[in-house]
Amino acid sequence: EAGVVQSPRYKIIEKKQPVAFWCNPISGHNTLYWYLQNLGQGPELLIRYENEEAVDDSQLPKDRFSAERLKGVDSTLKIQPAELGDSAVYLCASSASGTSLSFGPGTRLTVL
Amino acid sequence: GENVEQHPSTLSVQEGDSAVIKCTYSDSASNYFPWYKQELGKRPQLIIDIRSNVGEKKDQRIAVTLNKTAKHFSLHITETQPEDSAVYFCAAGSGGGADGLTFGKGTHLIIQP
């Protein structure tokens, strides 16, 4: 089966600019996650979707971050405006009921 | 919430020797403990997992042990090979699967030839 797909793989922007990341989960996986991975750290959950509903967004900085999963399949994560501290790898993952996470390759964001 | 501590942060072993990575967790409700391997610049990939109704699980050269009383679990890799070099992450969660996982900070395993 095809894995989780993310784009772009790399993004370099200047601070205060907006940026968006896209994720396509594994077919049939109803649950989609966005994780943040800082250098030398483990992934940290930003938001979890069950189909099109955000069921856990407690760790999402809502003043600048937003996400959507309109048709319960693809998802977009947006940052506006980006800050220097947002430089990190943004990982998308998906799962089916009772299974563990399948991660995408990530988007490496550099904010200058 | 859950807190997962992982040790050591870096582990260097000779090729052919065994490697052990240890994690502790704080939430007694946690019932699912996966381990992920992340090679440089690549995605984390599940290598083995264990649920709280089992004390040990083995898959070829990899094994995981769980001590629910002490709230710790360990990854054991035997007969290490150069391709085992990577960062390994443990995680713990109470959802029985992928939901609500808290990850450790990772262990950089270096296999010396």
A99 vs B89, B98, B103: nearest CB: B98
The one-letter amino acid code at B21 reads I
The one-letter amino acid code at B111 reads I
Whether residues A42 and B43 touch (CB distance < 8 A) is answered with: no
Which among A68, A73, A69, A75 is positioned nearest to A22, based on CA atoms?
A75
Nearest-CA residue of chain B relative to A58? B100
Lowest-confidence segment of A23-27, A44-48, B34-38, B99-103 by average pLDDT: B99-103
Q: Are the beta carbons of B105 and B24 closer than 8 angstroms?
A: no
Whether residues A42 and B42 touch (CB distance < 8 A) is answered with: no
Distance CA B42, CA A49 (A): 24
Q: For chain B, say whether A30 makes contact (Cβ under 8 Å).
A: no
pLDDT higher than threshold 80 for residue A98:
no
Quote the DSSP letter at residue A24.
E
Residue-wise pLDDT for A12-21, tens only, equals 999 999 999 9
Q: Is the peptide bond before A8 cis (omega within 30 degrees of 0)?
A: yes
pLDDT higher than threshold 90 for residue A67:
yes
Residues 46-85 of B with CB under 8 A from A: 46, 49
**The pLDDT value given to residue A1:** 63
Quick one: pLDDT band at residue A70, thresholds 50, 70, 90? confident
Residue-wise pLDDT for B3-45, tens only, equals 999 999 999 999 999 999 999 999 999 999 999 999 998 999 9
